[in-house]
Amino acid sequence: MYWYCGESIESQIINLDISDPGLLYGATVFTTLRSDAPDIYELHWERLKLSIDDLGWLQPNWTRVRSGVECLTLEFPVLRITIFPDGRELITGRDLPPNLATWQQNGVTVIIADRQFTRSIPQHKTGNYLAPWLALQSARNQNIQEAILINERGDWLETTTGNLWGYRDSTWYTPPLSAGILPGIARSQIMNLLKQENKSVVEIDWDREWVGDLDSIGYSNSVIHLIPINTVLTPLGRLEYGAKQSMMKWLAAKFILTR
């Protein structure tokens, strides 16, 4: 079941013109949200609107988008809202990751992605997600949960699906938007939460030497909230963070409680 151009459709097949730029080039923008968090839907709408305006595309019929969300909320815990350049909307649903509770409790292992895997127009969540998808598949093929994208200098940017967080010496760290990362909605929520808790938050480049001194790290998005990262497999060896994840787990629990 999905929603397309104002209609609820019972099918796993969609009819698109063979010249559709969304099909040929990934020319769409999208956002992914949990249907149990309607209080932050507006944050997702605003990000989509900003991206659409910045790209010079047509805004969708937002009444239709909201109707589609309301329809699929009854069926799925996770919704993906996709907007085409001409304003068409496509809303699909899926389940939460089956191992989410285990990941949240025990943390995950990640690898450093090949440097060639860089996200297209990183300040926008576009449908051209081939590079992150390839990086994630490379990790999953090795029975590893995630991968971290890097820039030409080797600085850590973000995971294939979320923003990075680190903790050390009573301070929280996250890469700056100027590094070329997605302005994640969960990222902005966590930053606001930490400031409300009077915690120090610093946006800083994550170079290869600096990351080894962090006590704990994790990654966030609107679906998984915040997941600790226990081990990072790098070309130069393993970085272990699992023994010092108490603050990351504190933040993860705090974030879930405020959702």
* pLDDT tens digits, 60-112: 999 999 999 999 999 999 999 999 999 999 999 999 999 999 999 999 999 99
Condensed to tens digits (0 to 9), the pLDDT of residues 221-235 reads 999 999 999 999 999
Residue where the block lists tokens 């930053």: 191
User: What are the start and end residues of each CATH 3.20.10.10 domain in the chain?
Assistant: 100-258
Q: How far apart are the first and last CA of the chain?
A: 27
Please give the pLDDT value at position 108.
Answer: 96
Q: Where in the chain is the domain with CATH 3.30.470.10?
A: 2-94
**Between 2.60.40.10, 1.20.120.1750, 3.20.10.10, 3.40.50.720, what CATH number should domain 100-258 receive?**
3.20.10.10
Whole-angstrom Cα distance, residue 238 to residue 83?
40
The third-level CATH classification (topology) of the domain covering 2-94 is: D-amino Acid Aminotransferase; Chain A, domain 1 (3.30.470)
φ/ψ bin of 143: left (φ > 0), alpha (ψ from -120 to 50), beta (otherwise): left
With a cut of 50, list the residues of the chain below it in pLDDT: none
Task: Map 73-133 to HEC letters.
Answer: HCCCCEEEEEECCCCCEEEEEECCCCCHHHHHHHCEEEEECCCCCCCCCCCCCECCCHHHH
Q: pTM surpassing 0.85?
A: yes
